[in-house]
Amino acid sequence: MTDHPDDLLHIASCRTCRDRFTADNVVNLEADRHREPERMREFLETARRLEREREGVQDVVARLLRTTPPAEWSSLAASPELQSSAAVEQLIEEIRHRAERKPGEALTLANVATSIAEALPAATYPPVVLAQLRATAWKERAHALRYLGRTDHALASIEKAEERLNAFAAAGFDRAVVELTKARILHETGRTDEAYGLMRECRRVFVEHGDAHMLLCTGIMEGISLYDDGRISDAEGVFRDSMEVARNTQDRESQARIENNLGYCATHSGDFRRANVHFSNGIAIFNDLGSHAEATRAERGAGRVLVAKGQISAGLAYLQKARRAFADSGMAEDAVLCGVEIIEVLIQRGDNVPASELANQVSEEVAAAGLGERAIAAFARLQESLTEGRADAALRVHDVHEYLKSLQQPASM
Amino acid sequence: MTAVSDSALPQRDDQFFEELYAEHFDFLVAVAARKFRVPECDAEALAHEVFLSYLRKSHEVLNIHSWMLGAICNASRYYWRQNGRMVEPLDDDKAFERPDPTTTRILDSLPDQLAAREALEGLMLRDQEILKMRYFEGCSIIEIGQRLGVKAKYAQKLLTKVLRRAERNYRRKGKQR
């Protein structure tokens, strides 16, 4: 044996120790291994096939989606070019890109992906590979349904994914990925204990597989869920653990997100100095990484939460910075929305003159951005209220805010 | 955790997959068979399934050794969860004809067994969990530490303490009988 009798990970990665461990622990290695060449052949053939199918599939799927009107995407389930594992994998990528902004489209594609995956003949791939593919397609369908608010259907879809994997002991990693989506849905439906139980189990599986990326996803998700449930100190603990993982693996993007989340936690705990440090760290890392849009969103988030907690000056500073950055990068809608949020704060503070000036400016931006007649009319009413010093200005700005926000909502089915 | 130096994905060609299988197959079988007591023929099937399930993840897995090891440990535990309860029902007549050899002198060992059970049941739930992880699920000290959210060194200390506590309970129960 080795000097590390209990460290299987060391044995797994060190060839000498691995060979010694294997020789010490498996009796009759050479005997009764009639099936081994067949297994090796199956493994290599599957590996070759999957790699071959992946070549060029991205272009094929992109072309089909481009040339087929979205209303007819359902017909793609019968497309001969998409009858492979790689095509389903690529469709799944497309679903992931759309899930948040266009969940309706994502659901249509998820239906196509599940249809194809379920229809692939059993002999095409080894059963476990086929099960993984089907389970992932069902899981993505659940994800799209979740974004559409159809949680019952989403849970039914998740159950399908679980069923596909049940028979395969080695699909533990895939099972955990499916359970993570389930945990998110359960949390949203108020079944928080079950959700946290699943998240803990997922975390254990990802640690066991040494997958820092999924571990971080789980940690951040758990932290956000705890934060949403008002368990701020628990959330902070989870974020701190995750930060350790992100630092060890030099995952800078996750570090930025966690810093931002720690900023939210500190704000809720009333430690505004610490919150400011975390927010600044997060924004600086996003900027270092060149993710300027993310940095600006983080600034806006910091501004909102600080204002909500009564730290008006600090919050306004973040919001104004975010508004400038949105405008500079041509994100007119976001710049306008940020402007409205600032006007709201100014009115609440009784600063009607600067609020009116900003409303004028934002109104022009609304017209230039082509956000619609309704928005322009709403701004005109707001300016009228502000100029006349009417008490309904706060209500008016709230209406404008809600209306502009509704323009940003993803399109529903 | 995944080391940063592993972050470059290896070139995945025929040779890579062949070497991967050849180098790790026996090791995975050994882990399933030795650490988790999975019967060797089933351990081979599990190891093979681990390799196949890796193929869909091969573009994402950064540390193959760690992933393979995690997958076989997880698969072995799942195997026992699925198969542990699938024991064929006992045929009463046959049982009388051929008594189970482990029960022939049961009266001699029963008091000890009962004392052992009571000793274990007298432990706190967390202590019972630690013993279950170590001796039933076959977890390593590191794994126990990870599951409990403590360092391996502390997990080792906890295990030693739990064993001492169990031993004390056992002696006390034994004396009472």
In order, the DSSP letters of B57-80 are TTTT-S-HHHHHHHHHHHHHHHHH
Range from A66-70, A288-292, B43-47 carrying the lowest mean pLDDT: A288-292
Q: Report how far residue A303's alpha carbon sits from residue A294's, in angstroms, rounded to the nearest whole number.
A: 14
Determine the pLDDT at residue B134: 82
Quick one: average pLDDT of B78-99? 62
Q: Report how far residue A132's alpha carbon sits from residue A141's, in angstroms, rounded to the nearest whole number.
A: 14
More confident residue, A378 or B69: B69
- Answer yes or no: is pLDDT of B98 > 70: no
Determine the pLDDT at residue B3: 30
Determine the pLDDT at residue B8: 47
Q: Report how far residue A269's alpha carbon sits from residue B127's, in angstroms, rounded to the nearest whole number.
A: 35
Task: Tell the burial category of B100 from Cβ atoms under 10 Å away from its Cβ (0-12, 13-18, 19+).
Answer: exposed
Quick one: average pLDDT of A249-264? 93
B14 shares contact with chain A (CB less than 8 Å): yes
Quick one: average pLDDT of B129-156? 82
Query: Tokens 């506590």 belong to which residue?
Result: B165
Are the CB atoms for A104 and A150 separated by under 8 Å? no
pLDDT band at residue B127 under the 50/70/90 scheme: confident
pLDDT band at residue A246 under the 50/70/90 scheme: very high
Range from A89-93, B82-86, B88-92, B152-156 carrying the lowest mean pLDDT: B88-92
Gap from A230 CA to chain B (nearest CA, Å): 23
Query: Whole-number mean pLDDT of chain B?
Result: 77
Q: How many CA within 13 A on the CB side of residue A188?
A: 18
B73 shares contact with chain A (CB less than 8 Å): yes
Q: Do B51 and A43 touch (CB under 8 A)?
A: yes
At residue A108's C-alpha, the angle toward residues A102 and A112, to 5°, is 140
pLDDT band at residue A209 under the 50/70/90 scheme: very high
Q: Report how far residue B109's alpha carbon sits from residue A263's, in angstroms, rounded to the nearest whole number.
A: 62
Determine the pLDDT at residue B1: 26
The Cα diameter of chain B in Å comes to 67
Determine the pLDDT at residue A60: 94
- Answer yes or no: is pLDDT of B54 > 90: yes
A12 shares contact with chain B (CB less than 8 Å): yes
In angstroms, the Cα distances linking B27 to A17, A32, A75, B40, B162 are 10, 16, 47, 12, 31
Range from A129-133, A257-261, A296-300 carrying the lowest mean pLDDT: A296-300
Show contacts of A398-403: CB within 8 Å, 24+ apart: A398/A344, A400/A340, A400/A375, A401/A337, A401/A340, A401/A341, A401/A344, A403/A374, A403/A375, A403/A378
- Answer yes or no: is pLDDT of B167 > 70: yes
Are the CB atoms for A319 and A298 separated by under 8 Å? no
Q: Do A210 and B48 touch (CB under 8 A)?
A: no
Most confident of A159-168, A378-387, B34-43, B65-74: A159-168
More confident residue, A149 or A404: A149
Q: Report how far residue A363's alpha carbon sits from residue B114's, in angstroms, rounded to the nearest whole number.
A: 82
Nearest to B50 by CA among A214, A172, A176: A172
Question: Other C-beta atoms within 10 Å of B148: how many?
Answer: 15
Q: Report how far residue A192's alpha carbon sits from residue A186's, in angstroms, rounded to the nearest whole number.
A: 7
Quick one: average pLDDT of A116-120? 96
Determine the pLDDT at residue B106: 61
Q: Report how far residue A112's alpha carbon sits from residue A88's, in angstroms, rounded to the nearest whole number.
A: 9
- Answer yes or no: is pLDDT of A5 > 60: no
Query: Whole-number mean pLDDT of chain A?
Result: 87
Q: Do A39 and B4 touch (CB under 8 A)?
A: no
Determine the pLDDT at residue A111: 96
Q: Report how far residue B70's alpha carbon sits from residue B77's, in angstroms, rounded to the nearest whole number.
A: 11
More confident residue, A55 or A8: A55
Determine the pLDDT at residue B118: 78
Which member of B7, B55, B57 has the closest CB to residue A47? B55
Residue A319: CB partners within 8 Å, gap ≥ 6? A299, A300, A303, A304, A307, A338, A341, A342, A345
Nearest to B67 by CA among B85, B53, B81, B78: B53
Which member of A12, A126, A215 has the closest CB to residue B27? A12
Nearest to A64 by CA among A82, A40, A43: A82
Nearest to A335 by CA among A377, A372, A308, A299: A299
Determine the pLDDT at residue A407: 64
Are the CB atoms for A222 and A203 separated by under 8 Å? yes
Q: Report how far residue A291's alpha carbon sits from residue A287's, in angstroms, rounded to the nearest whole number.
A: 6
pLDDT band at residue A396 under the 50/70/90 scheme: confident
Q: Report how far residue B135's alpha carbon sits from residue B128's, in angstroms, rounded to the nearest whole number.
A: 10
Q: What is the DSSP secondary structure assignment for residue B10, as one 8-state letter? A: P
Q: How far is CA A71 from the centre of its chain?
A: 26
Q: Report how far residue A316's alpha carbon sits from residue A323's, in angstroms, rounded to the nearest whole number.
A: 10
Determine the pLDDT at residue A26: 59
Determine the pLDDT at residue A79: 93
- Answer yes or no: is pLDDT of A412 > 50: no
pLDDT band at residue B177 under the 50/70/90 scheme: low
In angstroms, the Cα distances linking A135 to A96, A333, B109 are 15, 38, 49
pLDDT band at residue A2 under the 50/70/90 scheme: very low
Q: In this prediction, what percent of chain A has a pLDDT beyond 90?
A: 55
Q: Report how far residue A342's alpha carbon sits from residue A335's, in angstroms, rounded to the nearest whole number.
A: 11
Taking only residues 242 to 271 of chain A, the set having a beta carbon closer than 8 angstroms to any beta carbon of chain B reads 245, 248-250
Determine the pLDDT at residue A278: 93
Q: In this prediction, what percent of chain B has a pLDDT beyond 90?
A: 17
Contacts of A12 in chain B (CB under 8 A): 24, 27, 65-66, 68-69
Which member of A8, A169, A213 has the closest CB to residue B46? A169
Determine the pLDDT at residue B173: 67
Are the CB atoms for B75 and B46 separated by under 8 Å? yes
Nearest to A137 by CA among A101, A163, A102, A170: A163
Are the CB atoms for A111 and A141 separated by under 8 Å? yes
Determine the pLDDT at residue A28: 53
Quick one: average pLDDT of A31-47? 77
The model carries a pTM of: 0.71
Determine the pLDDT at residue B15: 85
In angstroms, the Cα distances linking A335 to A260, A297, A308, A319, A379 are 20, 11, 19, 10, 15
B143 shares contact with chain A (CB less than 8 Å): yes
Range from A226-235, B2-11, B122-131 carrying the lowest mean pLDDT: B2-11
Determine the pLDDT at residue A201: 94
pLDDT band at residue A69 under the 50/70/90 scheme: very high
B9 shares contact with chain A (CB less than 8 Å): no
Q: Do B53 and A129 touch (CB under 8 A)?
A: yes
Q: In this prediction, what percent of chain A has a pLDDT beyond 70?
A: 91
Determine the pLDDT at residue B163: 87
Nearest to A226 by CA among A244, A214, A238: A238
- Of chain B, the end-to-end C-alpha distance in Å amounts to 49
One DSSP character per residue, B77-117 reads HHHHHHHTT-PPPP-HHHHHHS--GGGTTHHHHHHHHHHHH
Positive or negative: CA dihedral A396, A402, A408, A411:
negative
